[in-house]
Amino acid sequence: MKLFDSFRSGTYRFALLLVVYTVGLSATWWLAHLLRFDFNIPSPHREEILPNLLWALPVKLVLLFLAGQFSGLLSFFSLPDLRRLAFAMVVSSVAVLVVGRFAGNPYVVPRGVVLIDFVLSLSTLGLIRVGFRLLRERYLSPQSRPQRRMRRVGIIGAGSAGASLARELLTKRGLGLSPVAFFDDDRKKWRSRVHDIPVVGPPESLLNPKLNLELEKAIIAMPSATAKRVGDVVKILQQAHLSFETVPALDQLATGQVRVSQLRQIEIQDLLGRDPVKLDTDNIREILHGKIVMVTGAGGSIGSELCRQIVSFHPQRLLLVEQSEVQIFIIEQELIQAGHGSIILPLVADVLDQPRMSYIFERFRPGVIFHAAAHKHVPMMESQPGEAIKNNVLGTAQVAELAVTHRADRFVLVSTDKAINPTSVMGATKRLAEIFIQALHAQNGGVTKLMAVRFGNVLGSSGSVIPIFNKQIAAGGPVKVTHPDVTRYFMTIPEAVGLVLQSAAQGEGGEIFVLDMGKPVKIVDLARQLIELSGLRPDEDIEIEFIGLRPGEKLFEELSHSAENVTPTNHPKIMRFVCKPSSLPQVRAQFQELNSSLHSAEPVQLKLALKKCVPEYQPYLT
């Protein structure tokens, strides 16, 4: 039935266009003769108009068909369609001249008539197709019918993103937004018009009391603007008492993931000044394409983003290893909906379960392993260090040894900047995992390339301060900050994961890669920005309360410790740290000692035992 409906729809479209094109081309043929002879066509010429039309018209229709002008949807017409239409008209005009001169016709069509006919035909058919499109966009589409009162909107940014947004809002009146003014920093655009909408001036114009536009909302359409400028614009809009949203990020628009009209709230990452990361995708593709890839902790913030980015490189199979069935189900469904269901395999498994993990390695033979499974909550692990040691140290060691045993190509440990001169159990266990990875790589002779990648806090992760602060703001405060001077490095999750993949691609084994995390951010400043983004005033509407550093926390995160040599890599945002690996038998002996006391020793004793393994660790013992 659907096939019949499709055929019937295509036949109807073809018939309608055939009639429209025939009438239009016939009319332009007659009009071209009238214009050429100033509406007084001599008798010999007048008698040959119809005979010549009878052979010229089929030529034009055939060329229009070959140019795809009968197969396109009636109400969709764009620049590529116009180019094909112009090509068909040019070729048909040349054909008319050639046939008229060399086919022995008694009457040759004057060149002036052919030229005028070309201009009229192209204009007429183009206007007809544009008319169908306008009919759909303005009158027939459900989105063209306002469902509610139209709200007056100002668009910040008169570039390509702003122009595209205005066009969509004008077309999709069902969104209920009517663009009435543009604001842009470029002086050359002031007092001009975009889609017949005036460019009033810079965003600062919104604070001019004489500007009476009666705006109800503003949309920031500056996806390539600096974070500082976006922050300035946000403050202007807040002072002007305007609600505001922004268009999607530039990378999303470029890849076609979203449309410019899919507005979102300004988020804190828009204001932190992270430059877009350029990846060498060819190198990443080389290690992932056609390979069997495993991600442990696949349901977590980092693990799930690893899965999203890995599938774009078309591995043969992606193994999603996760202990939580709820989390693994969520990422599995997301990847299935994105069209990757045929290459993913969710596997509920605990990295500490040796028989289960051995089966997975023997059955599927993963070639590249990204180990993201870990306990990461700093204060929670301080009170139960045994769990951190089990998961972060012994679990990592078990998966890494299985990778070596089964001769995997690469093993990548997702580590943390808290492993540098650690003061927390979480950081110390991650550092000990790094020590083991380096020792194991040195022992196995490089058959399996084992490496670690460190980075700082990621925005949007389940343990990030951002969702915590947002909940506190929603509750009316106070926003609780540990210390007025505490600073942290922040990255977005996609940025961090992209650089993890880049590190994995260029690693030769034994390295610890550290990502360029930009400038450190004061947590109190972050809290103030979040309060302001909520339309409230720090210290007036929402109080900021300092509660003191929690056990294991630092004021400042560090980039390296004294035993590590820092060297650059081929990527400007990745550094390589190299240090002398420890003896693998010695590290294993330390693991056995730790394992023997995991469930019998007190937390303080476990921390002291951990310090023997990681000398630079400064434990919190009270």
The count of domains in the chain is: 3
| Residue 457 and residue 383 in one domain | yes
Q: Which two tokens stand for residue 484?
A: 């007025």
Final residue belonging to a domain, choices 240, 266, 292: 266
Torsion of CA 54, 58, 59, 64, to 10 degrees: 140
**Domain housing 12:** 2-140
The span from the CA of 298 to the CA of 371, in Å, is: 9
Predicted local distance difference test score (pLDDT) of residue 443? 87
In a domain, 162, yes or no: yes
Give pairs for 49-57: CB < 8 Å, separation 24+. Answer: 51/107, 52/100, 52/105, 52/107, 52/109, 53/26, 53/29, 55/99, 56/29, 56/92, 56/96, 56/99, 56/109, 57/22, 57/25, 57/26, 57/29
Residue 446: left (phi > 0), alpha (psi -120 to 50), or beta?
left
For residue 147, give the DSSP letter. Answer: S
| Residue 442 and residue 301 in one domain | yes
For residue 229, give the DSSP letter. Answer: H
| Residue 132 and residue 155 in one domain | no
| Residue 291 and residue 350 in one domain | yes
| Residue 136 and residue 156 in one domain | no
In a domain, 481, yes or no: no
Final residue belonging to a domain, choices 114, 140, 166: 140
| Residue 68 and residue 25 in one domain | yes
473 HSE (CA, 13 A, CB side)? 21
* Section 122-145 average pLDDT: 67
In a domain, 145, yes or no: no
403 HSE (CA, 13 A, CB side)? 34
CB within 8 Å of 379: residues ≥ 6 apart:
550, 551, 552, 553
Tell me the catalytic residues. 418
* Section 561-578 average pLDDT: 75
| Residue 297 and residue 416 in one domain | yes
In a domain, 275, yes or no: no
Q: What CATH number is given to the structural domain containing 292?
A: 3.40.50.720
Predicted local distance difference test score (pLDDT) of residue 369? 96
In a domain, 535, yes or no: yes
| Residue 192 and residue 136 in one domain | no
| Residue 286 and residue 419 in one domain | yes
* Angle between helices 2-36 and 43-66 in degrees, nearest 10: 150
Q: Which of 9-13, 444-448, 598-602 is predicted most confidently?
A: 444-448
| Residue 119 and residue 171 in one domain | no
Q: How many CB atoms lie within 10 A of CB 363?
A: 10
In a domain, 302, yes or no: yes
Provide the whole-model pTM.
0.68
| Residue 218 and residue 330 in one domain | no
CA atoms 616, 617, 618, 621: torsion sign:
negative
| Residue 570 and residue 441 in one domain | yes
Share of the chain above pLDDT 90, in %: 24
Task: Give the pLDDT confidence of 428-472 residue by residue, as tens digits.
Answer: 999 999 999 999 998 887 789 999 998 877 776 666 777 788 888
Task: Give the pLDDT confidence of 300-315 residue by residue, as tens digits.
Answer: 989 999 999 999 999 9
Task: Give the pLDDT confidence of 137-189 residue by residue, as tens digits.
Answer: 565 555 445 555 688 889 998 888 888 888 888 877 777 888 889 999 988 88
CA 149 distance to own-chain centroid = 33
Task: Provide the H-helix boundaries in 450-515.
Answer: 465-474, 493-506
Task: Give the pLDDT confidence of 350-392 residue by residue, as tens digits.
Answer: 999 999 999 999 999 999 999 999 998 888 888 889 899 999 9
5 pLDDT tier (thresholds 50, 70, 90): very low
Final residue belonging to a domain, choices 266, 300, 316: 266
Per the prediction, the chain carries an average pLDDT of 82
In a domain, 97, yes or no: yes
The span from the CA of 516 to the CA of 500, in Å, is: 11
SS3 of residue 72 by DSSP:
coil
In a domain, 482, yes or no: no
